[in-house]
Each structure stands twice: as structure tokens, then as C-alpha cells.
Amino acid sequence: MGNLQNLQSQLDKLIKEDPSEQKNIGTFTAIHKNPFVYQYLFHYLNKNVVDRAGYTSLSYFEKTIEKYFKKLFDNKDGSVVLTAGSTESILLAFHYAREKAKDEKGITKPNILVPKHAHYSLKRCAKMLNIEVREIGLNDTHTTDIEEVKKKIDRNTILVAAIMIATELGVIDDLIQLDAIAKEHDTWMHIDGAIGGFIIPYLDTDLRYTFSQLESLFSMNISCHKFGLSLVGGGVLLLRDKKITQAYTGNIEYLSSGNKKMAGLTVTGSSLGLFSLYTNLMLYKFQGYRKFAKKYLKTKKELTDILQSFGYSCYQGSPYSPQLFVYGEDASRLSKYLLGQGWLQHAYTVEGLGKTGFRIVIKKDQEQMLLNEFIKDVRDFKLLANQKLLLKNSYQGAHAINRLS
């Protein structure tokens, strides 16, 4: 009993020292807590998602999610692979492209064109698969340099990677031009939709991003635990080719649910991502996610206007991205002050922009807190900074008078 009490006391103390996830404004990971999800949480805690064929509810969730994504991205003849997140999805997409290119095109020394602003996982996954990475520079809009793509693509290029809302600056690559280049060179395109996959389809845009609109689109990864609002561990890989997962994966005979063709990477995984994604999709539906996305952008505009009135610059990226990068003369000091107030973020330098500042990601259940409590803390920082400046000037003035006398 004593050990239990000691452990409880230790855990309570450690948890108390943790910052609130509600004030984590630097992450894309969802902080929304759907009470309906938590009502059934314990039922799915220790169920292996890979063994889902043995559970009626998990199998049903998978079929429903597969149908949802096929419709959303107009890919009815393709396939949907459940993953633990975008890194696994990217690794699988590159693997499938490498194997297909080897068998159908005889490519034994493959390369992938990856833009400089891509998430680090794209380069890492390519290198793990022994695929040459050809980095593509950025243009003056901080998106993929189309001319450089034209110069670096060749007959061994198996994928042209495109970003649909970049991690640092929230920009979107020219998907139409990249699709045209890929088609011209008889190769494929992969879209990193980790962020944009649960934003762009719900907004009124002129962007072309579906499988029916982009002929070269081979695959797309989406992180459902970002703006899909699932618990951590929810991701999907969308593939145009329905048969590709059957061609390049092996079977496992020993699962409790029986023989399984392994389209994914891991043999053990949490069911919480799958369960929570299904629940959110059913509760919020298309119109709910549309409402959320529009609110992110409304909050972004209001937040930008206020921060600019304080003298800060805000790089907003695409008008459809739910984030902004805040920079200015005292942005690093502001970042430290905000950290002291419990706001989880940090200052860093964005290479392409050449500015030091911090990122704000606007997520569900943070909108009002950002416009109220966060702005109050920024205002307090500016007041303190002005007071220190006045005291410094007063001290210097008094010191100068003393010297003259």
C-alpha cells in the first residue's frame, strides 16, 4: 500500500509540473478532447489494431474510414492503408513506388525529388530505403522551385514530392505544375498532406489535389491526429493503385484474427487512433470539419491583426493554412516570456525566411484562448518591456546629469 501511495504522490507531482496541452501552440497534434471518445476509451486501450479483423467494431471502423477517404479524395478505385501517422505512411508510399518502378520500369537506382521545406521524415524515409534524395530549392514564395525540378528530374526519378501546407511556413506547392512535370517525364507524384489533408477538402478553394484532378498522383499521406482530431496514432496512406499493397507485401499467419496481408509496417499498434478517428468522423461529419477549418482561418486573421498592432510581423503562408510564424526585434524574448506563462513553443530561425520567431498553430479548442489569454500575455510583455525601457532611459538621463554637474 505504501508503494502505491508513493507512486501516486510521485506521479501527481510530475504531472503537476507538466505544461497544459491546451497551451501548446507550437504543435500540430490535436488537443481536442471529445468526451464521447473518452467514454469508450478503456474498451480499446489494449486492442492491437493490426488484429482488427478479429474485432467487429474495429473492422467496421476501418471500412467506414476507407470509404470516407476514397470519396473525399475522389479515389474510389484506389486503396487506403491505416498507419500510425505520416512517417509510416511516407515510408510505405516510397517503398511501394520503389518496388513498382523497379518491376514496371526497370529502375534500379531510384531517386526522389524532395523540396527543401519538406518535413524531415521524407528525406529520412527515402534514405532508409536506399533511394537517392535530390533536394529542390525554394522560390521567392518559399515553395518548390519549379525550374529546379525540371533540371533535376530524370528517367530514374520515381516520385516528385509536393507539400500541401508546409510545417514551418504553411505554404502549398504548385501541385498542378508538379503534376504536369511528373506526367511529362512518365513518373509519379506524392503529396505530403499531413496537415492539409484535413483542411483543404473542407474549404472553398481553387486548388486541385484529388486523384481525379492530378493524373500523376501516386500517393498521399495524412495525419489524422492533427486536424482530423483523432488521438495520437492515427494516420492514413492513400494509394491510386488498388492492387499495389497485395503485390508488395507479405502475409502473417500467426495473428489471433488469422492470416493477414500486411499493407502497413508495424505488427502491433494502438486501436485508439482508429477508434477516435471513426468517432469524430461520425459526430462531426463533413460540415463539422468545414466549420472548424473556417474558424481556424478566422482566428488566424484576428490574431495576425492584433500581433501586428503590437509591432510584430506575421508570415501567414497559404491563406488556407491554420498557422502563422511570428517574428520581430524582440520575438525571442517574447517567446521566453510566453514559455514562463505556460505557452509551449520556442523561437527558432526559418532558413528560407531568414527570420527568428515562433510558430503558432491554431487548433480546435484553442481559438478563444489565443485571442484572449494569449493576447493578454503578449500585451503584458510589451508593457513590461516599455517600463524597462523607460527605467533605462531615466537612469541614463540621470547619470548624464550627474556627470555634467
Tens digits of residue pLDDT in 165-212: 999 999 999 999 999 999 999 999 999 999 999 999 999 999 999 999
251-252 and 111-115 beta bridge pairing:
unpaired
Report whether pLDDT(253) > 80. Answer: no
Alpha-carbon distance 117 to 104, whole Å?
30
Residue 270 main-chain phi, psi, to 5 deg: -75, 145
Half-sphere exposure at residue 348, Cβ-oriented, CA atoms within 13 angstroms = 10
Q: Which residue spans of the chain are classified as CATH 3.90.1150.10?
A: 19-28+293-397
Least confident of 194-203, 223-232, 381-390: 381-390
Give the total residue count for the chain. 405
Confidence at 259, pLDDT banded by 50, 70, 90: low
Q: Looking at residues 247-256, what average pLDDT do you find?
A: 76
Q: Which residue spans of the chain are classified as CATH 3.40.640.10?
A: 35-283
Closest CA to 214 of 248, 189, 193: 189
Q: State the residue for C-alpha cell 513518373.
A: 187
Q: Are 342 and 374 contacting, i.e. CB atoms less than 8 angstroms apart? A: no
Q: Are 226 and 29 contacting, i.e. CB atoms less than 8 angstroms apart? A: yes
Q: Could you confirm whether domain 35-283 is CATH 3.90.1170.30?
A: no
284-317: per-residue pLDDT in tens?
Answer: 999 999 999 999 999 999 999 999 999 999 999 9
- Helix (H) or strand (E) segment spanning residue 101: helix 86-105
Closest CA to 223 of 214, 233, 215, 213: 233
Alpha-carbon distance 156 to 107, whole Å?
6
Question: Could you tell me what percent of the chain has a pLDDT over 90?
Answer: 80
Report CA-CA distances (Å) from 299 to 149, 197, 289: 35, 20, 15
pLDDT number for residue 54: 86
Q: Are 116 and 138 contacting, i.e. CB atoms less than 8 angstroms apart? A: yes
Best CATH choice for the domain 19-28+293-397 from the list 3.90.1150.10, 3.80.30.20, 3.40.50.150, 3.90.76.10? 3.90.1150.10
- Per residue, what are the HEC states of 299-326? HHHHHHHHHHHCCCEEECCCCCCCEEEE
Q: Give one word for 317, left, alpha or beta, with left for phi > 0 and alpha for psi -120 to 50.
A: left
Alpha-carbon distance 332 to 316, whole Å?
19
Q: Are 237 and 89 contacting, i.e. CB atoms less than 8 angstroms apart? A: yes
Angle at 99 between CA 96 and CA 105, to 5 degrees: 120
Confidence at 48, pLDDT banded by 50, 70, 90: confident
Confidence at 269, pLDDT banded by 50, 70, 90: confident
Name the residue with higher pLDDT: 264 or 230: 230
3-class SS of residue 376:
helix
Alpha-carbon distance 364 to 373, whole Å?
16
Q: Are 117 and 141 contacting, i.e. CB atoms less than 8 angstroms apart? A: no
pLDDT number for residue 385: 82
131-173: per-residue pLDDT in tens?
Answer: 999 999 999 999 999 999 999 999 999 999 999 999 999 999 9
